[in-house]
Structure 1
Amino acid sequence: MSIDSLNWQILRCLQQNARMSNAEIGRRVGVSSPAVAERVKKMEDAEIIQAYKTLISPFELGYQLKAIITLRAFMGMLKPFLDKVKTYDEVINCYR
């Protein structure tokens, strides 16, 4: 699927606010709401748009510290470690 200038404008709107209505996007880019919906659906089907996310503020939730910790797991202990760390509410992301 090719991305034309209109699709780029729609993507920019969604990056600013993934919950922006098709009507609002249409007003901003100069097309109808159904045209926006059709283009968004095509970009989702082509996996150009892969997900919609909600970003939260750990600080506003009462978490005053953000830390990135590097660990090295012994042979055969990585899977048990990952299974255990997923149970902690405080762990937001785990990278490997």
Structure 2
Amino acid sequence: MKVDEIDLKILKILQQDGRLSNAEIAERVALSPSPCLRRLRRLETEGVIQGYRPQLNRQVVGLGMTVFVQVKLHDHSAESVTGFEDAVREMDAVVNAHTVSGSADYLLEVVAEDLIDYDRLVKQMQRLNMVREIESNFALQAVKTEAPLPLKL
């Protein structure tokens, strides 16, 4: 799919405020509402826009602990990789998971209520037979989170 300059403007506006109406977006990108809505629907259908959701304050909803977890597997067999990735997808506390290069195989971003809550997750991961090592890095302070993508216009 080709994304043109108007599409990029729409995307940038939506990243700043996903609750804007089509009419407000159309006005900001100098389109009439109908063509703007067609562009929005195309961006959604083509998977450029993958969804709309609110950003929640983790502290307020009781998930004030953020931990970055490096996980090493015993091996990289298809069975181990698939098993681990399937297990991680089922763990609600894991909000982001990436395969990475370097000393670890995976980098997970985990949210928890407190140390006891996080310990439950670690024990759940330790029970996975493909997991060799878990290293936890506790976030002390969020400096920048959930920033919009740096779209070039």
Q: Tell me what 1:23 maps to.
A: 23
Letter in 2 for 1:7: D
Letter in 2 for 1:5: E
Q: Tell me what 2:9 maps to.
A: 9
Q: Tell me what 1:83 maps to.
A: 87
Taking the aligned partners of 2:6 and 2:88, their CA distance within structure 1 comes to: 46
Taking the aligned partners of 2:17 and 2:89, their CA distance within structure 1 comes to: 31
Higher strand share: 2
Correspondence list, 1:24-63, <5 A? 24-47=24-47, 49-54=48-53, 55-63=55-63
Higher RCO, Cα 8 Å, sep 6+: 2
Letter in 2 for 1:94: A
Taking the aligned partners of 2:51 and 2:11, their CA distance within structure 1 comes to: 12
Higher helix share: 1
Q: What is the RMSD computed on CA atoms of the aligned residues?
A: 2.7
Given the two structures, how large is their TM-score scaled by the length of structure 2? 0.49
Query: Structure 1 residues 50 and 27 mapped into 2: Cα distance closer, same or farther (>3 Å)?
Result: closer
Q: Tell me what 2:74 maps to.
A: 74
Given the two structures, how large is their TM-score scaled by the length of structure 1? 0.70
Query: Structure 1 residues 27 and 60 mapped into 2: Cα distance closer, same or farther (>3 Å)?
Result: same
| Alignment size in residue pairs | 94
Structure 2 unmatched runs, 5+: 100-153
